[in-house]
Amino acid sequence: MIKSRPIYDNFRIDPAGRAHLLVTDLSRLPVDVLPEFSDVETWVVHVVAPGIQAQDVATKAFRAVADLLASLGARLAREPVGLRLYAVGTEPFLWDVNNVARAAGLGGGEIFLKHAGSLKRRVYCSHCKTMNEDVTKNIVKCRGCGANLFVRDHFSRRLAAYMGVAVDAEVPGEIPQVEVMYP
């Protein structure tokens, strides 16, 4: 395994924090997270679909991840020191949150991440720099340049994306079997 692939552990409330904020791109919190964080201010992304409601614990529900991230940036710019930020959800979301938080001045010991939900990946095309969202297969056709990208286990925290490299660069058209790897 390539060492750049993130490992998520030790997701607990840090009792040293003065205040706590939990954000997720899921519409409800995973059951293993819920009990400990039931009293924590929680932001969720409300999926507008019949029969799906934001969890009751939510203090705030957003219509889209982009809305949540924008509000998070504004909140962190006003927030005094002592906040602990927790993010639960898909990997691209976790690292988008991480980057918003880092830009606001949070660092190690103030941000905690936990992967939950889909394993889908954001894939960065190393040829045309296009970001390909919601990739669940081992090979994806880049929506920027059309190259067939092999999704490597090589993760960039800065881009919050995995690296994609043309799989048939040696012999054009020779593409291995496409499988769902990141459901």
Partner 1 sequence: MIARIANVSAISETIKRIVLEAADGSALPAGAPGAHIMLNIPGPRRVWKNAYSLVAFGSAYEIIVRRVQNSRGGSAWLHDHAAIGETIEISMPVNLFPMARTAQKHLLLSAGIGITPFLAYVPALRAHEKKFEWHHCCKLADAPAFAALLPPGREAILHTQRKTLDLPALLKRQKLNTHLYVCGPAKFMDTAVEAAQKLGWPGAKIHTESFGGATGGAPFRVKLAKSNIALDVGPEESLLEAMENAGLNPPCLCRGGACGECELPVLEGIPDHHDHFLSDSQHKTGASMMTCVSRAKTPELVLDF
Minimum CB distance to partner 1 smaller for 54 or for 111: 111
- With CB under 8 A as the contact rule, the residue among 33, 87, 106, 125 that binds partner 1 is 106
Q: Quick one: three-class SS letters along 84-102? A: EEEEEECHHHHHHHHHHHH
**Candidate list 29, 83, 94, 116; residue touching partner 1; CB under 8 A:** 83
Does 112 engage in binding with partner 1 (CB under 8 A)?
no
Q: What letters, b where the CB count within 10 A reaches 16 and e where it falls short, cover 171-181?
A: eeeeeeeeeee
Contact with partner 1 (CB under 8 A) among 4, 64, 109, 143: 109
Piece of the chain touching partner 1 by CB under 8 A; list 30-38, 45-53, 102-110, 151-159: 102-110
Query: Of 41, 21, 19, 37, nearest to 29 (Cα)?
Result: 37
Beta-carbon contacts of residue 126 (< 8 Å; ≥ 6 apart):
163, 164, 165
Q: Which of 77, 145, 175, 178 binds partner 1 (CB under 8 A)?
A: 77
Ranges within 1-20 binding partner 1 (CB under 8 A): 16-19
Q: Binding partner 1 by CB under 8 A: which of 110, 123, 124, 167?
A: 110
What is d(CA 63, CA 131) in angstroms, rounded to the nearest whole number?
22
How far, in Å, CA of 4 to CA of 12, rounded? 23
Ramachandran area for residue 105 (φ above 0: left; ψ -120 to 50: alpha; else beta): left
- Whole-number minimum distance, CB 57 to partner 1, in Å? 22
* Tokens, residue 137: 């297969």
80 vs 173, beta carbon nearer partner 1: 80
Q: Which of 22, 58, 84, 163 binds partner 1 (CB under 8 A)?
A: 84
Shorter beta-carbon distance to partner 1: residue 51 or 107: 107
- Positions touching partner 1 (CB under 8 A) are 16-19, 76-84, 104-110
